[in-house]
Amino acid sequence: MACCRHAGIRIIVVTGDHSLTATAIAREVGIVGDEPTLIAGTDLDAMPQDRRDRLLRDTPELIVARSNPETKLHIVDALRAQHHTVAMTGDGVNDAPALRRADIGVAMGRSGTDVAREAATMVLIDDNFASIVAAVEEGGVVYDNIRKFITYIFVHAIPEIVPFLLYALAGGAIPLPLTALQILAIDLGTDTVPALALGREPAEPETMDRAPRPREAGIISSPDARPRVACASARWRPYSSWAASSSCCSPPAGRPVTRPAPGRRFTTCICKRPR
């Protein structure tokens, strides 16, 4: 859970259980602190849309108890309307509509129903929340490596393109410094191996300390400060299994943890179907 907070991932609990049960478990696993905001699913459904949007946007620690499938759909739709990226986890038949509506539906592989797995985008084989955290970190590593590779290609290609542009603009008055065969030999010798090395770069120390980027951000362009949210609906897991997340939760010695800027968040909602 600490790793999620460092990465700007906000967790919302949506459950069909009683609010006291949900609060106790959320505190035990470290999702919420001493004073989370509690609301019943029926009250959330009855709220006007603008008030519901403000609640989901401005509440840092939110627990929605006694929820139903319509409540989960309302939460997903409200977050997506605010241009957030929504990830919903679930294991029951009643979770299928929200799993399908979310940007990323995550179903439980061991305890989930066939309907939930069919509706989801991704299936967790071990039913462990730490696997989602590890997947977020791995996605950041892949994105960083793609940026490095593309940046290297552009920087390397510019000196090769400029002489040809000058040759074409000058009408052949300026001779070509390199032939096509020479450029091909340079590309084979200086592009292939470095590009493969950049693609296999390990994770940077601050990978999970950076705030999530907007979905519309380009590979080259720098991301803006638009907030993003993910919502998940998952069964409760023991604290010991959830705490065993990746090593990104422990920053290198001597380096302070960089927390995300206010307003840039990636929210996850965790839910449980009633037994």
DSSP state of 124: E
Secondary structure (DSSP) of 9-20: EEEEEEESS-HH
- Alpha-carbon gap, residue 79 to 234, rounded angstroms: 18
Whether 130 contacts 147, CB under 8 Å: no
If you average pLDDT over every residue of the chain, what do you get?
A: 77
Average pLDDT rounded to a whole number, residues 63-80: 90
Q: Which residue has the higher pLDDT, 238 or 18?
A: 18
Residue 25 pLDDT > 50, yes or no? yes
Residue 270 pLDDT > 60, yes or no? no
- In this prediction, residue 9 has a pLDDT band, given cuts at 50, 70 and 90, of confident
Helices (H), 59-178: 69-81, 96-101, 114-119, 129-169
Convert the pLDDT of each residue in 193-246 to its tens digit.
887 888 888 888 888 887 777 777 777 765 444 444 444 444 444 333 333 333
Average pLDDT rounded to a whole number, residues 82-102: 88
Confidence at residue 99, expressed as pLDDT on a 0 to 100 scale: 92
Convert the pLDDT of each residue in 108-155 to its tens digit.
988 888 999 999 999 999 888 889 988 888 988 998 888 888 888 888
Using only the alpha carbons of the chain, give its radius of gyration. Answer: 24
Confidence at residue 222, expressed as pLDDT on a 0 to 100 scale: 55
Confidence at residue 40, expressed as pLDDT on a 0 to 100 scale: 92
Name which of 202, 184, 216 is nearest 247 in CA terms.
Answer: 202
Weakest-pLDDT range from 67-81, 117-131, 163-177: 163-177
Whether 233 contacts 14, CB under 8 Å: yes
Q: Which residue has the higher pLDDT, 271 or 137?
A: 137
**Tokens (6 digits) for 243:** 């705490």
Domain locations along the chain: 2-130+222-272, 136-209
Distances (CA, A) of 230 to 60, 78, 99, 235: 13, 11, 12, 16
Confidence at residue 235, expressed as pLDDT on a 0 to 100 scale: 45
- In this prediction, residue 176 has a pLDDT band, given cuts at 50, 70 and 90, of confident
Average pLDDT rounded to a whole number, residues 81-89: 87
Whether 208 contacts 259, CB under 8 Å: no
Arch. (CATH architecture) of 2-130+222-272: 3-Layer(aba) Sandwich (3.40)
Q: Can you give the pTM of this predicted structure?
A: 0.70
Average pLDDT rounded to a whole number, residues 190-194: 78
Weakest-pLDDT range from 18-32, 41-55, 172-186, 208-222: 208-222
- Alpha-carbon gap, residue 240 to 238, rounded angstroms: 5
